[in-house]
Structure 1
Amino acid sequence: MANDAVFRTSLVWLAAIMLLIGLYTRSFKKMLGTYLFGIFAIAGVLLPDWEFFDRDVSQWCSPLYVDDISSHKSTTPARFRFYPVRLVVYTTVYGFALYKWWMLISN
């Protein structure tokens, strides 16, 4: 990961949200659910190897060589490029996880 400060800031915000959920609901189970949801959300956005996924979806099963990375550099970071398949996968996974987390917290 290129920027550790973003990762640390995300973890601090997660700790604050966990504390608020724990104080509001007075439930260790709900606080733990918030922690798990937050860790998976942070890991899914900040930790993937974006150079690997910055290729056509059909190429994801083939290895990525160093020559491919150096010849494929561009000005826009791969995390901020628009890819429809990645958007659908992220929306589906995070939407379902957010729904399950909200059901856990609201009950």
Structure 2
Amino acid sequence: MENDAVLRTSLVWLAAIMVVTGLYTQSLKKAAVTYLFGMLAICGVVLPDWKYFDRPVSQWSTLVSDDDPDPSQSAPPRFKFYPVRLLIYTTVYGYAFHKWWKFITS
């Protein structure tokens, strides 16, 4: 991970959300589930090897080499738009958020 500030900021926000959830629901179990959901979400978005995942999904099964950078990349790979990857992330995190929300509001 190149920027530890993003990870620290995410963890601070997670702690605040966990405290608010715990106080609102008066449940330690729901606060713990919020922490677990938040850590999994942070690990899935902030920590992955972006050189590997910032490629079309069809190339995820091939290895990434640092030796031969792609000269055709004018924009940093972090800002490339891949619709299939966006669909996968939206589906996984949308479903997880829905299940978390149902659990918290029950």
TM-score if structure 2 supplies the norm length? 0.89
Q: Taking structure 1 as reference, are residues 31 and 75 closer, same or farther at Cα in structure 2, changes over 3 Å only?
A: farther
Contiguous gaps of at least 5 residues in structure 2: none
**What SS is found at the alignment partner of 1:71?**
coil
- Using the alignment, how far apart are the partners of 1:99 and 1:72 within structure 2? 41
- Using the alignment, how far apart are the partners of 1:106 and 1:95 within structure 2? 16
Whether 1:81 and 2:80 are equivalent positions in the alignment is yes
Whether 1:19 and 2:19 are equivalent positions in the alignment is yes
TM-score if structure 1 supplies the norm length? 0.89
Aligned to 2:52: 52
Runs of 4+ displaced beyond 6 Å = none
- Using the alignment, how far apart are the partners of 1:25 and 1:5 within structure 2? 30
Structure 2 matches for 1:1-107, cutoff 5 A? 1-68=1-68, 70-71=69-70, 74-107=73-106
Aligned-residue Cα RMSD (Å) equals: 1.6
Deviations 1:14-36 (A, max 9, x none): 00110011111111111011111
Instruction: Report how far residue 38 of structure 1 moved.
Output: 0.7
- Using the alignment, how far apart are the partners of 2:72 and 2:29 within structure 1? 44
- Using the alignment, how far apart are the partners of 1:77 and 1:40 within structure 2? 25
Instruction: Report how far residue 55 of structure 1 moved.
Output: 2.4
- Using the alignment, how far apart are the partners of 2:72 and 2:51 within structure 1? 9
Contiguous gaps of at least 5 residues in structure 1: none
Higher helix share: 1
Number of residue pairs matched by the alignment: 106
Q: Taking structure 1 as reference, are residues 74 and 105 closer, same or farther at Cα in structure 2, changes over 3 Å only?
A: same
Deviations 1:52-85 (A, max 9, x none): 12223222112112223x3358453323221011
- Using the alignment, how far apart are the partners of 2:40 and 2:29 within structure 1? 17
Q: Taking structure 1 as reference, are residues 99 and 72 closer, same or farther at Cα in structure 2, changes over 3 Å only?
A: farther
